[in-house]
Amino acid sequence: MSSTPSRRLNIDNINPHVKKAKYAVRGELAVKSEEFRAALLGGNSSLPFTQVVSANIGNPQQLDQKPITFFRQVLSLLENPELLEHEDVLINQLGYKSDVIERAKWLLKHVGSVGAYSASNGVPAIRQKIAEFLERRDGFPANQADIYLSAGASSGVNTLLHVICQNDKSGILVPIPQYPLYTASLSVLNATCVPYYLDESKNWGTDVDTIKESYEAAKAEGIDVRAIVIINPGNPTGASLSEEDIRNVIDFASKERLVIMADEVYQTNVFIGEFISFKRVLRQLQKEFPGKYDGVELASLHSVSKGMVGECGHRGGYFELVNFDEHVQAEIYKFVSIMLCAPVIGQCLVELMVNPPKPGEPSHELYHKEYTAIYEGLKERATALHKAFEQMEGVECGAPQGSMYLFPTINLPEKAAEAAAKEGRTPDEFYCMRLLEATGICVVPGSGFGQKEGSLHFRTTFLAPGTEWVGSIVKFHKEFMDKYR
């Protein structure tokens, strides 16, 4: 509806920082794709495609990734505890295993009801299970008092940035390309994004010398650089940091007194290399060089939305704080308390993620089968999409390394750039819009994540089932290039 004099709010008097924020993952292309989806559902047969493929966002279950049976069975009992009065029916007729029932009872004992608020930082027993998971993963102790349950990792990022950023001179080092949550959040906070570029020629590697250059340039402009964001494995690039890279980042953060924000939500989505957590390397460095790295503040984040779990809609996640001042932690606790608590059903999913069925337990065989099938399916589709990109004129793309995305370079004809300018779009936005209109496939232009001047990219997930949609991209690209060459 348009603004009128009778309304108090109009586009000119709302918060300017909200207007400034950009979030391309759910921007114009995503809105247009939903319009197409609604038209198809309404029986529109005039479009040149029969389905919309939402390859713009890592939303696995929208693209037919099946939920893990153990997780959903436990959740069903948490949502409707009266089912536990009929264990014989659950086991003998509905295929529930005894460990599903035991886990649901354990969670209900500690949660009470998933319809009730929990402690602001999460259910204590669930925080303890996360601490035990972190100790198994890293080989070093974790304290449940330093763990905060959140409504997905995004909520944790929002909490941390609110606390870290003091004013408009507060700077946060952010990798480019990056997940636009960071730049959008900093815009809303009226804080300063300090970009540092990943090296595409080295599989989107993280180079500390490049980080130093960005840091020094920002300092010279009077920016108080306070923290560095690392997305590991990367989004949109999928690259995993080596232990050497992590050591270099921690060493730099130690020297410059930077808080490290380690976004590790894709830690199980690794095809090349291995995932190494920042917590593990920091603890190793503290062991090797007593006292030298004890001042490093680290916040690491994880989520049920990605990996083989893919439960985005349940909004579950957590962050762990390492070496934060106790008074700062008290303010973080106050901040999360304003929102009361993370969704309790999401908290329970986090517990299931970090504490899945173990070998020998009744549900383990099916859990392992489903988990492995999802992982192999993602890897297979990533490989198929990469092979398609290799065939496409002017498209360059490294081998899929991890996460849920590919981020190819596209070299477009000058005529395409001219046509884009006439529409007031960047060439990559123009390309992605034409792709959507011709095929129903929604991807995100590289400009939404940041890219080096003069380069063009787009990000696509490889979550969608089948390979027919991949063929549609290849066909579209050839026709586009022929039209504008």
pLDDT at 24 over 60: no
- Mean of pLDDT over the chain: 90
Instruction: Please say whether the beta carbons of 240 and 274 come within 8 A.
Output: yes
- 178 band by pLDDT with thresholds 50, 70 and 90: confident
Task: Say yes or no to pLDDT of 25 above 60.
Answer: no
**Quick one: pLDDT band at residue 2, thresholds 50, 70, 90?**
low
Kind and range of the H or E run holding 53: strand 53-54
Give the pLDDT of residue 346. 94
pLDDT, residue 363, reads 96
- How many CB atoms are located within 10 Å of the residue 41 CB? 9
Average pLDDT, integer, range 57-79: 86
| Type of residue numbered 307 | G
Among 16-30, 107-121, 359-373, 460-474, which is the least confidently predicted range? 16-30
**Mean pLDDT of the region 231-260:** 91
pLDDT at 3: 53
Distances in Å between the Cα of 248 and the Cα atoms of 216, 285, 323 are 17, 11, 19
pTM of the model: 0.89
Residue 306: per-residue pLDDT: 85
Mean pLDDT on 184-206: 88
256, pLDDT greater than 90: yes
Q: Mind listing the pLDDT tens digit for each residue in 321-377?
A: 999 999 999 999 999 998 899 999 999 999 999 999 999 999 999 999 999 998 988
Dist CA 100 CA 104 (whole Å): 6
Helix, strand, coil percentages for the chain (3-state, nearest 5): 50, 15, 35
Judged against a pLDDT cut of 70, whether residue 109 lies above it is answered with yes
Q: Is the bond preceding 408 in cis, omega lying within 30 degrees of 0?
A: no
Instruction: Assign 260 a pLDDT band (cuts: 50, 70, 90).
Output: very high
- To the nearest whole percent, how much of the chain has pLDDT over 70? 97
Among 18, 33, 376, smallest CA distance to 188 is for 18
Confidence category of residue 210, pLDDT binned at 50, 70, 90: very high
Residue-wise over 405-425: b if at least 16 C-beta within 10 A, else e?
bbbbbbebbeebbebbeeeeb
- The pLDDT tens digits for 435-469 are 999 999 999 888 878 778 788 888 888 877 777 78
State the SS3 of 364-406. Answer: HHHHHHHHHHHHHHHHHHHHHHHHHHHHCCCEECCCCCECCEE
Q: Is the pLDDT of residue 134 over 90?
A: yes
* pLDDT tens sequence across 304-314: 988 888 887 88
Give yes or no for residue 19 having a pLDDT over 90: no
| pLDDT range class, residue 23, cuts 50, 70, 90 | low
The pair phi, psi for residue 298, each rounded to 5°, is: -130, 130
Beta 458-461 vs 405-406: how paired, if at all? antiparallel
Mean pLDDT of 115-133: 94
CA–CA dist 55, 402 (Å, integer): 16
Q: What is the mean pLDDT of residues 405-411?
A: 88
User: Quick one: CA torsion of 255, 259, 265, 269, rounded to 10 degrees?
Assistant: -10
Higher pLDDT: 123 or 234? It is 123
